[in-house]
Every structure is written in C-alpha cells, then in structure tokens.
Amino acid sequence: MTGVVNIPGRQHEVYCVGSDGKIWNTNMPKDPYEAGTQISQVCMTHNGKALFAGTGEANKPGSIIIYKIAEDQGRGTLKMDKINEV
Amino acid sequence: MKDGEFEANHTQVNNKDRDITTRYSCHTWMSDGPLILCTEVGEIIVLDDDGSYMSFVPDSPMNDFKIEAIVSFSRGFIVAGNGLIYAYEKSEDPRALYRQITEPINVQMDSKDNNFGSHINFLITSLTLSHSEDYIYFITKSKQLLKVDIPLYDGSEQKSKVDFVHCCYHTSDITGLDVCIRKQLIVTCSRDRTVKIWNYVTKTLEISQTVPEDALAVAFHPSGFHVVVAIQDKITLYNVLSKCIQPFKNIQVKGCTEIKFSNGGHLFAAAYGSNATYVFNFYTNENPPNFQCKGHIQKVRAIDWFDDDMGFVSAGQGGDVFFWELLNVKEGSNRLTDKDFT
C-alpha cells in the first residue's frame, strides 16, 4: 500500500491504494474498484463526495483522477464513478 | 529534394581556413540567409545558405565553453551555455562578419543574489527572445524558466537583471506535501534539499529554505505557524516566519519517510524504522510507549488521522492497513485488530 485516506463520516472505513492498480474500501474487501492504472496517493473532500487519486506509474507522467463517491442506498455501501482526469 | 526524398548537399563543412572541431552542438538560420553553427568547444562559424564555409567568428567564446543553445534576432544572434550568454551583431568588417555586442552576461552570479536561486545549476539548455527583443527567456539544466533583460546595444551601461519568470520550482523529486488547515498555504519538500511554502490562492512561492540534507517528509501544523521536516538522521521542527522558517527543535530519528499532524495539531505521527509509526506530542516532544505503534510487515507508507484525533490509520508497503487507537488501550495493544485489512 502507498496511500490511505479516512472516509469522512464513516468510522474505521478507509480507501487505500497500492501497486495493484485497485482502490480498496476496507469495508468491501472482496469488491475493489479497478482503477486501470497504478494509484500512489489518495485524498478526499471533507464532505466525502469526491476522491482525488494521484497516479504513479514508473517512467510515466502523473495525473490526477477524480471520482464521485455516492452511497448505494440499497446496500449502505459506497460506490465510485470516475468523473474526470487531469 | 529529389524524387520526393531529401538529399544531402553537404555531409561536412569544407574549405575551412582553420582547424575547427566537428563536435557541433547547435545551429540557427539568420533571416538574411547565413547559417550559424556552434561547437562544444565554444567556436562559432558562419556558413553560406548552401552550407559552404564562409568565416569563423573571431569573438567566439572558445576556452572549451560548450555552446548549448542559439537564437537569432533582427541584428544578429545570441548563444548561451554554462551560466553565460553572449550576444553578436552583424558587422561591416569582411574579416569578422559578426562581432560581440556586450560583455557576456553572467546569469549565475546575478541570480545568486536571489536567495531562491542559490542551489540551481545555471547551465542554459534552451533560450528564446521576446517579440520586442528586450528580454531573453531561458531554461536551465535544473528545469527552471528565467528571463534576463540583456542590453543589445553597444555602450549600454545598464546592468542585466536575471529573474524567475514565475518562481523557483523544485529541481528534484518532491518527497513530501501537506496543506495547512487554517491558512491558504501548502508546504513541499524535495531531494533538492529545499522546503518551500506556497500560497495556493495567489499562486506564489512565499518561502524557500535550504535544509542540510535531502528532505524526506514534511507536515504543516494546522495553525500554519510550524512545519515539521524529516531529513536522513533527524526530524526538525520549524517556526514559520514571514520570510523564512527557523528551526527550534530536533528529534534524533533515522530514515523518517512520512509525517502527519493530527487535526488539532497537538500530536504528530512519524513513520520510521522498519515497520513502526511513532506519535509525538508536538509541544513536549514526548513519545510514551502507548504512542509507539508497531506491527506492519514492511515500511509504513501512508498515515491518516481520524477526524476526532483519537487514533489514526496506517498503510504499509507489505499491503496491510491497520487502525490504531491512542487513548483506549485494550489488552496492552492499541491496534484495533478486528479492523485489520490485509
């Protein structure tokens, strides 16, 4: 793992990233999000509605990917959608 | 061009009237035809527009001064290399088609007056002129963009002033970054041995301070009045003043790669050693046993405090994520083992 961030408003639940190209929610260990690229750092907005991920592929320029975080009403879990990359 | 393919007119410069190296480094075409060719040992030669040798420029820098970049302007051309810029203009003398306009401009010496640029390698790798030909913009080997108002007219008494176009950026990998909670400031540290404080609203560099060794990690106190910087063999606590940062305390630890302040600023967590995170009281620098969080398989790479500062989460290089409570120690361990994520 190379980056970890607490999810605001959800105690002991974090997003973490490493060299496997996935974004893990510790409450959903069997269902990681496939980022498709190696993420090195993550941070979240205070309202918990967006996740910013910095890419860290060796010998490639970096970028920042923004994910929209929303609660899955039926399951009480969080789902994420990529909305932008800069 | 012949049959849709380029054909070489010349593969070497013939009819030279002196011994000139073939280690060419850069060239430019003048607007009136000639080609100016520079070498790695500071020679400048003039070629006709068909590539045949015309003359040598007697005022060439020489002395093994490697000319890295050249640009032409309305009256002549400018060459640059390791910290020096030479300007030439056309002359009427048939023995010297171009003559030097002014003494070479030493950008290195001028910029060292500026505290922000004292650690930069001033080898110029590229340059260009502004439209009005009053400023030269150049890039150094340290990846910095600077400008100089070079006097391009004979007898000019004006002293050239070198300045950064935006500001002095880091010249090596950035190893740490933190955002201040109370002020619109960001602190960064780098392997170039500097710590820089940026204002993200005005988009300016507020403070640049040199540290004794490569900086490995940095954290901003929520108040904006202090920063903590890790170098190879210690963690240094700094006060943030208006123009500089001033050290006031050292903690002797080796190889700290991650530091994070709690949201209140009374504690900070530092990851060092093979597998541990240590929490220090910022005001007393105490590190009691229940603030020593060990258990990761490999190095700790990331830390994030809980919103209520009662603990933090740490992620290790071995793929494990552990939650730590600092005040509610249960069964001799402050790790919330039921929350472990591996």
Does residue A3 sit at the B interface (CB-CB below 8 Å)? yes
Whether B153 is in a domain gets the answer yes
**pLDDT number for residue B132:** 86
- The pLDDT confidence band at residue B116, using thresholds 50, 70 and 90, is low
- The pLDDT confidence band at residue B121, using thresholds 50, 70 and 90, is confident
DSSP string, B86-106: EEEEE-S-TT-SEEE-SSPEE
- The pLDDT confidence band at residue B13, using thresholds 50, 70 and 90, is confident
Tell me: do B129 and B38 sit in the same domain. yes
Tell me: do B246 and B147 sit in the same domain. no
In angstroms, the CA B219 to CA B213 distance is: 17
Tell me: do B129 and B225 sit in the same domain. no
**pLDDT number for residue B214:** 92
Residue B241 has pLDDT above 90, yes or no: yes
Identify the CATH number of the domain in which residue B286 sits: 2.130.10.10
Mutate to test the interface with A, among B175, B260, B304, B336 (most CBs of A within 10 A): B304
Closest Cα of chain B to A80: distance in Å? 20
Tell me: do B229 and B296 sit in the same domain. yes
Residue B86 or residue B334, greater confidence: B86
The residue-averaged pLDDT of B294-309 equals 92
The strand order across the sheet containing B267-272 reads B258-261, B267-272, B276-281, B292-294
The residue-averaged pLDDT of B55-64 equals 89
Half-sphere exposure of A20 (CA within 13 A, CB side): 12
The residue-averaged pLDDT of B135-162 equals 81
Residue A63 has pLDDT above 80, yes or no: yes
Q: Which backbone phi and psi does B337 adopt, to 5 degrees?
A: -65, -25
The residue-averaged pLDDT of B244-264 equals 94
Strand partners, A35: none
DSSP string, B312-329: EEEEETTS-EEEEESS--
Q: Which residues of A touch B307 (CB under 8 A)?
A: 6, 8
Whether B7 is in a domain gets the answer no
Whether B3 is in a domain gets the answer no
Q: Which of B106, B140, B164 is the last residue of a domain?
A: B164
Looking at the structure of chain A, the number of domains it has is 1
Residue B15 has pLDDT above 80, yes or no: no
Tell me: do B137 and B239 sit in the same domain. no
Least confident range of B260-269, B282-291, B320-329: B320-329
Structure tokens at B124: 């110029």
In angstroms, the Cα distances linking A42 to A31, A38, B103 are 18, 11, 52
Please give the mean pLDDT across all residues of chain B: 87
- The pLDDT confidence band at residue B26, using thresholds 50, 70 and 90, is very high
Tell me: do B99 and B204 sit in the same domain. no
Mutate to test the interface with A, among B300, B321, B328, B342 (most CBs of A within 10 A): B321
**pLDDT number for residue B239:** 97
Q: Residues of chain B with pLDDT > 90: what percent?
A: 54
Q: What is the pTM (predicted TM-score) of this model?
A: 0.83
Q: Which backbone phi and psi does B289 adopt, to 5 degrees?
A: -60, -35
Closest CA to B197 of B183, B210, B207, B211: B207
| CB B54 within 8 Å of CB B44 | no
Q: Which residues of B touch A23 (CB under 8 A)?
A: none
Whether B225 is in a domain gets the answer yes
**Domain enclosing residue B335, as ranges:** 174-339
Looking at the structure of chain B, the number of domains it has is 2
Residue B331 or residue A86, greater confidence: A86
Asked if the ipTM is above 0.85, the reply is yes
**Domain enclosing residue A8, as ranges:** 3-85
For chain A, positions 13-52, list CB contacts with chain B under 8 A: 14, 16, 18, 24, 26, 29, 41
Whether B4 is in a domain gets the answer no
- The pLDDT confidence band at residue B96, using thresholds 50, 70 and 90, is confident
Whether B251 is in a domain gets the answer yes
**pLDDT number for residue B66:** 93
One-letter amino acid at B219 equals A
Residue B200 has pLDDT above 90, yes or no: yes
Which of A6, A8, A29 is the closest to B341 by Cβ? A29
Q: Which of B123, B144, B164 is the last residue of a domain?
A: B164
Tell me: do B122 and B184 sit in the same domain. no
Least confident range of B47-56, B156-165, B167-176: B156-165
Q: Which of B164, B187, B202 is the last residue of a domain?
A: B164
Tell me: do B45 and B68 sit in the same domain. yes
